[in-house]
Amino acid sequence: MSGAVPVAVHTDYILSDIAPAGGLSVSPWVALAYLAAGVLFILALRGLSSPSTSQRGNRYGMIGMGIAVVTTLLTHGLASLPEIGAAIAVGGGIGIITARRIKMTDMPQLVAAFHSLVGLAAVLVGWAAYLNPQAFGIAGPDGVIEAQSRVEMGLGIAIGAITFSGSVIAFLKLAGKMSGSPIMLPGRHVINLATLAAILGLIGWFTQDQGLWVIATVTVLAFAIGFLLIIPIGGADMPVVVSMLNSYSGWAAAAMGFTLHNTAMIITGALVGSSGAILSYIMCKAMNRSFISVIAGGFGAVAADGGEAREQRPWKRGSAEDAAFLLGEAEQVIIIPGYGMAVAQAQHVLREMGDLLKARGVRVKYAIHPVAGRMPGHMNVLLAEANVPYDDVFELEDINGEFAQTDVAFIIGANDVVNPAAKTDKTSPIYGMPVFDVEKAKTIMFIKRSMGGVGYAGVDNDVFYMDQTMMLLADAKKMVEDINKALAH
């Protein structure tokens, strides 16, 4: 067993051979610098445990990245610094301009776009390592790449390619450039599993045959499966998709880290990989769905067909003035925002409404379901953007006991997350999903465009027809503006 994989030799080989002779390129220091970068990345995530420490955490992350880049440049890159500098300037410029200009409601598609770039970068680095293995210290002078490195490289390229094409589809769906509804191919499970098996088989074969066709086929198949995996998933399942792609981008970085024996990349890859996996888990749990069923896709496509059988039931329509009166008289109001608020860009007027109510002595709280919006934490960012203090914003389990003491539950752009069928109707597609107990509130105000549409899950909502429910049918932003006008009188 021992000595079967003589990898260690080559790490020293790159450092001593390519780096200029001098104190800076001493191998242990370089390794320590990458380790420091990895630790700083851990601290960056640790800072996010509270908004008060988060900004410092972000700075640790920047320092860590600076250390990793400068260390690499010092040991490898001095020769082609102008080209590299230009590439960094172009990329960095685009990045900063995008980050400054992007609207907060568009954050999910921005994150998806960024994921695709990590994926593509991983594919390119993998290919570069294949074409020039000596530079990465994974091949002898004869150009034969070590078997273990071939597997790592193959996995890195495959995961990177899946991340890339999957994220491109996710981006197109989130940006509304492609229909958000699931696209179902016949026999897609068989196609997907066969493609996956082919990829793994080819990576295995790659250890025997270093030929270009093997790695090229792996790349093409991985691009295809990333595409195939994401097209049948849509709408409210997007938070899981975005988290999952986040996870993949991490695993891709980790796989390349193995190829390069780079501590910073391995630590980061593991961090990002577990982060995305945990977020996917949280999202699935918040919808009471298994990860497999989300990945299998197609949710909502079937259920929506059953809509015609719905009986006509009486419901009450309210005006902005009615709503303003009841809100103004309330002691406590809980606002439940959903994706519709983001679509209507209603977060700012909503905060104004909250301020007007607070000025009248009303307690105003915001309740956020884990899967509200199109990515984890989407609603929190929008409320923060609108200057809602974060200690007014509560998670599902922290606030759900309060509805019985609440005068008005104000639902804006949410639907499935307040549907009591999730608690009572075993046949409902959303049965078992944790939901807000809005029916316990004295009055429910439900802002909705029209009575026709139902939530993403395609199920009717009993809340519409309850005695204490007032339907406010209008565009969310327009309705809240009208309520604000009435409140200001």
Region 227-286 residues binding other proteins, contact defined as CB under 8 A: 242-243, 246, 249-250, 252-254, 256-276, 278-279, 282
- C-beta of 212: minimal distance to other proteins in Å? 11
Told to judge if 398 belongs to the known catalytic residues of this protein, a careful annotator would answer: no
Nearer of residues 22 and 314 to other proteins, judged by Cβ: 22
Helix axes 263-286, 27-46, angle to 10 degrees: 20
Contact set for other proteins, span 37-76 (CB under 8 A): 37-38, 41-42, 44-46, 48-52, 54-55, 57-58, 61-62, 64-65, 68-69, 72-73, 76
Contact set for other proteins, span 386-425 (CB under 8 A): 387, 389-393, 395
Nearer of residues 281 and 431 to other proteins, judged by Cβ: 281
231 phi, psi to nearest 5 deg: -60, -30
Contact set for other proteins, span 366-385 (CB under 8 A): 368, 370, 375-378, 380-381, 384-385
- C-beta of 484: minimal distance to other proteins in Å? 21
- C-beta of 57: minimal distance to other proteins in Å? 8
Q: Which of 237, 416, 460, 482 does the annotation list as catalytic?
A: 416
Contact set for other proteins, span 78-137 (CB under 8 A): 78-80, 83-84, 87-96, 98-100, 102, 104, 107, 110-111, 114-115, 117-118, 120-122, 124-125, 127-129, 131-132, 134-136
Q: Does 20 bind other proteins (CB under 8 A)?
A: no
Q: Does 212 bind other proteins (CB under 8 A)?
A: no
Q: Does 32 bind other proteins (CB under 8 A)?
A: no
The number of residues that bind other proteins (CB under 8 A) is 124
Q: Does 332 bind other proteins (CB under 8 A)?
A: no
Alpha carbon distance 297, 207 (integer Å): 34
Contact 320, 482 (CB under 8 A): yes
Nearer of residues 250 and 318 to other proteins, judged by Cβ: 250
Instruction: Provide the annotated active-site residues.
Output: 416
